């Protein structure tokens, strides 16, 4: 059995910098035609000079692969002039509440104060992408942020808002309430619950933020993805950390899925009898929602067993050592 995917896209990706970027960017560029690149570096990507240098580093790391990095800026209080200058070089601006996840200490401390910039973004047609969590109890952080999405969807009706890496049934339900709300969902949140992370021995390589939730949340996310909900795109949130930062006290948050995402998704969609919807979920929805035109790339997956490597460089992938049903046959 085979399936051909046309120009698959990853609409939420972490590539880091330096040696780590050199390790991981080819693993995405091999099978994806493009990806939305997260800006939470140290220092953050919050100006055009930094963005252009980062894009150049990514393209150098891509090598000969056909791959387009869709760049984002880290949200701060921008002027209209700054936003006008950046508009043609970005796919959106990413809002991180201060301190809520990796490298977000310089994020937004006051959501209300950020609305001045959101109003400018609405005026200029610049997309808002949000890590939607508060500092509430860890299992409730996304749910606690949903009223913020509602307020902004109503206050800024022409602002396209992307709820990044949604993890709850409530977030799925919110998608259908506002025309200007969209979302991404990760591989791990379609497959695991908190029990997989911490129900037995702690598995640091499944620990991410937002944290995996309850079975009923996973079921709602899976149902939306399997039916290729028209407002939902695949965004891996693949987040590489070296082993020393994962298998330690103070474990870093992030699941590394970039090199196995399409293969695992093929198995997941086939298992549920929805393989025909995979193209829409990993490509067509994103093309339409974001209005992007990535390089032409055809990825052929085949139902041939593949054993996930123990590590890629110094990064351990999700399900390291496990045999999965699908593998990459060719990329053209």
pLDDT, tens digit, 9 for 90 and up, residues 141-158:
999 999 999 999 999 999
Helices assigned H by DSSP within the chain: 18-29, 48-62, 80-86, 111-124, 141-155, 169-175, 187-191, 194-198, 215-226, 243-246, 261-271, 278-279, 285-290
pLDDT, tens digit, 9 for 90 and up, residues 254-295: 999 999 999 999 999 999 999 999 999 999 999 999 999 999
> Which domain range does residue 107 map to?
2-331
**Contact at 8 Å (CB) between 231 and 181?**
yes
**What's this model's pTM, rounded to 2 decimal places?**
0.97
Q: Active site residue: 10, 237, 276, 284, which one? A: 237
Tell me whether residue 237 is one of the annotated catalytic residues: yes
Q: How far apart are CA 258 and CA 236, in angstroms?
A: 7
Closest to 154 measured CA to CA, from 172, 180, 120, 175: 180
Q: Rg of the chain over CA atoms, in angstroms? A: 18
44, exposed or middle or buried, with CB in 10 Å at 0-12, 13-18, 19+? buried
The pLDDT value given to residue 40: 97
Say which CATH number the domain at 78 has. Answer: 3.20.20.140
pLDDT 10s digits, 37-82: 999 999 999 999 999 999 999 999 998 999 999 999 999 999 999 9
Total count of domains within the chain: 1
Three-state SS at 315 = strand
Q: Which residues contact 281 (CB under 8 A, 6 or more apart)?
A: 225, 228, 232, 233, 234, 265, 269
């Amino acid at each position: 059995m085979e399936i051909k995917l046309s120009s698959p896209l990853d609409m939420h990706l972490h590539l880091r910098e330096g040696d780590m970027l050199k390790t991981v960017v080819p693993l995405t560029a091999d099978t994806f035609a493009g990806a939305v690149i997260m800006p939470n570096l140290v220092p953050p990507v919050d100006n055009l000079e930094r963005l252009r240098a980062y894009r150049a580093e990514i393209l150098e790391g891509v090598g000969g692969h056909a791959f387009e990095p869709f760049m984002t800026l880290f949200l701060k209080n921008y002027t209209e002039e700054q936003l006008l200058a950046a508009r043609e070089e970005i796919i959106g601006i990413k809002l991180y509440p201060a301190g809520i996840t990796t490298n977000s200490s310089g994020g937004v401390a006051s959501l209300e104060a950020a609305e001045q910039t959101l109003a400018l973004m609405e005026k200029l047609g610049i997309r808002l992408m949000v890590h939607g969590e508060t500092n509430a109890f860890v299992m409730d952080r996304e749910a606690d942020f949903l009223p913020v999405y509602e307020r902004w969807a109503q206050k800024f009706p022409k602002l396209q808002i992307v709820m990044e890496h949604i993890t709850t049934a409530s977030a799925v339900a919110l998608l259908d309430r506002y025309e200007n709300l969209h979302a991404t969902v990760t591989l791990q949140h379609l497959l695991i619950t908190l029990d997989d992370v911490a129900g037995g021995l702690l598995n640091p390589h499944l620990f991410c933020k937002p944290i995996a939730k309850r079975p009923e949340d996973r079921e709602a996310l899976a149902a939306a993805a399997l039916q290729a909900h028209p407002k939902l795109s695949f965004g891996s949130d693949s987040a590489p950390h070296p082993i020393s930062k994962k298998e330690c006290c103070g474990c870093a948050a992030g699941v590394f899925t970039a090199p196995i995402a399409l293969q695992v998704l093929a198995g997941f969609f086939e298992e549920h009898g929805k393989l025909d919807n995979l193209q829409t979920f990993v490509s067509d929805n994103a093309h339409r929602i974001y209005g992007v035109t990535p390089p032409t790339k055809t990825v052929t997956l085949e139902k041939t067993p593949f054993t996930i490597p123990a590590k890629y460089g110094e990064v351990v992938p999700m399900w390291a050592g496990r045999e999965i049903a699908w593998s990459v046959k060719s990329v053209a």
